[in-house]
């Protein structure tokens, strides 16, 4: 144990509780090490064993991994299965039909339990309705829905008929939605009339209408609308239909479409450092295997658990740990429509107590904001509730600072629940580096060790291993079943982005910097090394925000966007803008900043609004006209400029931008 004590000077090491080790899916470090060794000894045999043991196959696979077209890997390709079958029918067949699959809690606190049997029946009805519209395996369907049972149903129904879904987070703008509809080549959209958040009804269907009106969406022939609020919405005859009408006319059984393990289960758009968001394409077999297996390994899911992942289905966490993993594990999960601060900042803790939640999985941003909320409203403190049902806590999406970790551990977990700090990405499909609750000694702020079968490493710019204790580039050296298969419609971008030639072309580049502890080998993630920002656990490309700003051609001449650390949101977006007109000052600058923030909100979505906008007469550029973003980052952080500025065309601009706050 002493070995681990040097992680980032962090001296606290917390051993797994004895009661947790016994009976855990991975029980104790020797069990973890045995799995790691098995994967090292017989890589394909290891994955084949797990895929056979954990999934139900209609037709067993005969070949495990096909690397012949690397880095386009194929796993279990000649095997056939269905994701929805593995999540629903399989549980009913095992006698869990009357077990609650989803305990839905609405924004206003109403609780609706849905059993596996009932969920299966509704998924089948919707699947039949989609088939009746002519939607078939391989067609793309956009899901733009709030966090509801119907959202999960929509994903499961697509999976059932082999249609590839692409969920778009309900906070994205009509323009972002439009982009995704076009890129995916969608034939249908599943949506809702409105969504409820924090006591307010927000539009959804009207945003779909707006997106479709932007043109080029002729392939979209059907829009299915879930009536959530019964607010007034326009329905286009011949195109739009109510979900309840469709369900009413269909049988509650539907033979699943048996697809190849490589069949694309979904496309999920995420931000990169350049260009438009990329459609990350995931498989059926490999993806589902990992969603399920990590439920067992990382969350040690047991039949009596009540699992709650707070992520929205619009993000990958909501795919793997709301829509697929918990159901594939036959668990009872909570699906929550609302926000953590409504009706007050004690909502999460009240819900844990009310539902006797035993495994709770959320993002550091939420924890940090709820810590702060306790200062304002002591009644919101978790210690004011009975949280004794909890046994495991999880964290995801961004680095968790040791202070927030300790608060979470002591105040939410009562000092007895291990925290699994899970590092992974949209591209990885499921957890990559994480503690296991019944095995790994914990160190606050470290995601500890890779899961068995995941060959994570840290290398330098040329792809060579760096010694422990030195920071470097996080890579994965071997493929794994739930890895992305390609970028939808752009295989070359996939190859260049994730398997860059500079690193030798065969290492998966995560895009994060990391360091391993000298002694224990524990990983600590240092954050993105590209132009991707992580704001409240949401991934944003600086280039996307720049493009959104300059798209305002009436006002904006030039823009550069950088990130700066933020106590609450992890990172914050700072934009430097050169206007076409006069540089505004004082109140004028404030009003202009407001206008541009709202503009970005409409272009991308409210999550992308810059926290700060600084106006200048110009941007710092080299003589060849390249914007020096490094300098802008320094200015955004409020730090002194120590970099060499001799190559700068216009050094005086630095002073102006520094003062422009
Ligand atoms: O920078 C890492 C950070 O989130 C990025 C992936 O974002 P996304 O694809 O949106 O998926 C988020 C949910 C899996 C990573 O490149 N990240 C994610 N989890 C952690 C993290 N950084 C530190 N610690 C984590 N546990």
528 close to ligand 1 (CB < 6 Angstrom): yes
Q: What is the 3-state secondary structure (H, E, C) of 475-494?
A: EECCCCCCCCCEECCCHHHH
- Asked if the model's pLDDT at residue 78 lies above 60, the reply is yes
- Asked if the model's pLDDT at residue 7 lies above 80, the reply is no
Instruction: Supply the mean pLDDT for the chain.
Output: 96
16 close to ligand 1 (CB < 6 Angstrom): no
Distances (CA, A) of 539 to 28, 146, 330, 456, 567: 34, 19, 30, 22, 17
pLDDT digits (tens, 9 = 90+) for 191-220: 999 999 999 999 999 999 999 999 999 999
Q: Give pLDDT, residue 3.
A: 38
CA angle 289, 295, 299 (to 5 degrees): 155
Q: Which atom of ligand 1 is nearest to the CA of 532?
A: 1
Query: Per-residue pLDDT averaged across 245-258, rounded?
Result: 97
* pLDDT category of residue 646 using cuts at 50, 70 and 90: confident
- Asked if the model's pLDDT at residue 382 lies above 70, the reply is yes
Q: Give pLDDT, residue 4.
A: 41
Q: Give pLDDT, residue 6.
A: 44
Q: Measured in angstroms, how far is the CA atom of residue 423 from the centroid of ligand 1?
A: 6
Q: Measured in angstroms, how far is the CA atom of residue 255 from the centroid of ligand 1?
A: 37
Q: Which residue has the tokens 């890579």?
A: 475
Q: Measured in angstroms, how far is the CA atom of residue 39 from the centroid of ligand 1?
A: 25
Q: Measured in angstroms, how far is the CA atom of residue 136 from the centroid of ligand 1?
A: 33
Cis, peptide link before residue 71, omega less than 30° from 0: yes
Q: Measured in angstroms, how far is the CA atom of residue 317 from the centroid of ligand 1?
A: 10
421 close to ligand 1 (CB < 6 Angstrom): yes
Q: Which atom of ligand 1 is nearest to the CA of 427?
A: 9
Tokens coding 517: 């502890």
Q: Measured in angstroms, how far is the CA atom of residue 312 from the centroid of ligand 1?
A: 15
| Beta-bridge mates of residue 622 | 648
- Asked if the model's pLDDT at residue 2 lies above 50, the reply is no
Closest CA to ligand 1's atom 6: 425
Q: Give pLDDT, residue 10.
A: 66
* pTM (predicted TM-score): 0.96
396 close to ligand 1 (CB < 6 Angstrom): yes
316 close to ligand 1 (CB < 6 Angstrom): yes
- Asked if the model's pLDDT at residue 602 lies above 60, the reply is yes
Q: Rounded to whole angstroms, how far apart are CA atoms 648 and 202? A: 47
Closest CA to ligand 1's atom 3: 398
Q: Give pLDDT, residue 647.
A: 87
CA angle 526, 410, 318 (to 5 degrees): 55
Tokens coding 611: 């926290």
Q: Measured in angstroms, how far is the CA atom of residue 377 from the centroid of ligand 1?
A: 30
Q: Rounded to whole angstroms, how far apart are CA atoms 620 and 601? A: 26
pLDDT digits (tens, 9 = 90+) for 345-364: 999 999 999 999 999 999 99
pLDDT digits (tens, 9 = 90+) for 543-596: 999 999 999 999 999 999 999 999 999 999 999 999 999 999 999 999 999 999
- Asked if the model's pLDDT at residue 37 lies above 60, the reply is yes
pLDDT digits (tens, 9 = 90+) for 135-159: 999 999 999 999 999 999 999 999 9
Q: Rounded to whole angstroms, how far apart are CA atoms 613 and 23? A: 53
Query: Per-residue pLDDT averaged across 467-483, rounded?
Result: 97
- Running DSSP on this structure, what letter comes out for residue 620? -
Q: Which atom of ligand 1 is nearest to the CA of 434?
A: 26
Poorest-confidence range of 57-71, 78-92, 282-296, 632-646? 632-646
222 close to ligand 1 (CB < 6 Angstrom): no
517 close to ligand 1 (CB < 6 Angstrom): no
Check if the beta carbon of residue 203 is closer than 8 Å to that of residue 638: no
Ranges of beta strands (E only) in 238-313 are: 240-242, 259-260, 266-270, 278-282, 306-309
């Amino acid at each position: 144990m002493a070995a681990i004590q040097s992680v980032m000077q962090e001296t606290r090491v917390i051993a797994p509780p004895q009661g947790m080790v016994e009976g855990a899916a991975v029980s104790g470090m020797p069990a973890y090490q045995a799995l790691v060794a098995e994967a090292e000894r017989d890589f394909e045999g290891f994955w084949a064993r797990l895929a056979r043991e954990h999934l139900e196959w209609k037709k067993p696979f005969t070949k495990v991994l096909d690397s012949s077209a690397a880095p386009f890997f194929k796993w279990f390709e000649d095997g056939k299965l269905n994701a929805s079958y593995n999540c629903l029918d399989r549980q009913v067949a095992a006698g869990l039909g009357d077990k609650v699959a989803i305990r839905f809690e609405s924004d206003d606190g109403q609780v609706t339990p849905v059993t596996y049997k009932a969920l299966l029946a509704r998924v089948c009805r919707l699947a039949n309705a989609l088939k009746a519209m002519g939607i078939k395996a391989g067609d793309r369907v956009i899901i733009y829905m709030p966090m509801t049972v119907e959202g999960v149903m929509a994903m499961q129904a697509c999976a059932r008929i082999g249609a590839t879904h692409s969920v778009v987070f309900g906070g994205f703008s009509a323009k972002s939605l439009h982009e995704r509809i076009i890129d995916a080549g969608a034939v249908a959209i599943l949506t809702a009339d409105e969504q409820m958040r924090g006591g307010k009804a927000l539009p959804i269907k009207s945003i779909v209408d707006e997106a479709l009106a932007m043109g080029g969406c002729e392939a979209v022939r059907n829009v299915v609308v879930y009536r959530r609020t019964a607010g007034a919405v326009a329905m286009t005859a011949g195109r739009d239909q109510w979900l309840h009408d469709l369900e009413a006319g269909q049988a509650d059984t539907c033979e699943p479409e048996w697809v190849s393990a490589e069949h694309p289960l979904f496309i999920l758009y995420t931000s990169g450092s350049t260009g438009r968001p990329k459609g990350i394409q995931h498989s059926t077999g490999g993806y589902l295997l990992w969603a399920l297996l990590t439920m067992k390994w990382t969350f040690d899911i047991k039949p009596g658990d009540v699992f709650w992942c707070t992520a929205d289905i619009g993000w990958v966490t909501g795919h793997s740990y709301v829509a697929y993993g918990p159901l594939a594990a036959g668990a009872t999960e909570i699906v929550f429509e609302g926000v953590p601060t409504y009706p007050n900042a004690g909502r999460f803790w009240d819900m844990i107590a009310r539902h006797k939640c035993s495994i709770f999985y959320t993002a550091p941003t939420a924890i940090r904001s709820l810590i702060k909320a306790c200062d304002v409203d002591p009644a919101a403190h978790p210690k004011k509730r009975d949280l004794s049902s909890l046994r495991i806590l999880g964290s995801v999406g961004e680095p968790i600072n040791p202070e927030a970790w300790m608060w979470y551990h002591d105040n939410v977990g009562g000092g007895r629940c291990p925290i699994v700090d899970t590092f992974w990405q949209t591209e990885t499909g499921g957890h990559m580096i994480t503690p296991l609750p019944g095995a790994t000694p914990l160190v606050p702020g470290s995601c500890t060790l890779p899961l068995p079968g995941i060959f994570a490493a840290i290398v330098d710019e040329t792809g060579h291993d760096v010694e422990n204790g030195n920071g470097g580039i996080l890579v994965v050296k071997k493929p794994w079943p739930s890895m992305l298969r390609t970028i939808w419609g752009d295989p070359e971008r996939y190859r260049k982005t994730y398997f860059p030639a500079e690193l030798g072309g065969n290492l998966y580049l995560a895009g994060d910097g990391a360091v391993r502890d000298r002694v224990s080998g524990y990983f600590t993630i240092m954050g993105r090394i590209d132009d991707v920002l992580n704001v409240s656990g949401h991934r944003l490309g600086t280039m996307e925000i720049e493009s959104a700003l300059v798209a305002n051609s009436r006002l904006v001449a030039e823009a550069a966007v950088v990130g700066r650390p933020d106590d609450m949101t992890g990172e914050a977006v700072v934009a430097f803008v050169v206007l076409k007109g006069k540089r505004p000052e004082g109140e004028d600058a404030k009003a202009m900043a407001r206008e541009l923030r709202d503009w970005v909100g409409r272009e991308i979505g409210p999550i992308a609004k810059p926290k700060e906008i600084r106006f200048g007469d110009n941007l710092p550029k080299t003589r060849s006209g390249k914007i020096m973003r490094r300098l802008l980052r320094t200015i955004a952080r409020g730090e002194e400029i120590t970099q060499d500025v001799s190559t700068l065309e216009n050094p005086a601009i630095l002073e102006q931008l520094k003062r422009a706050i």
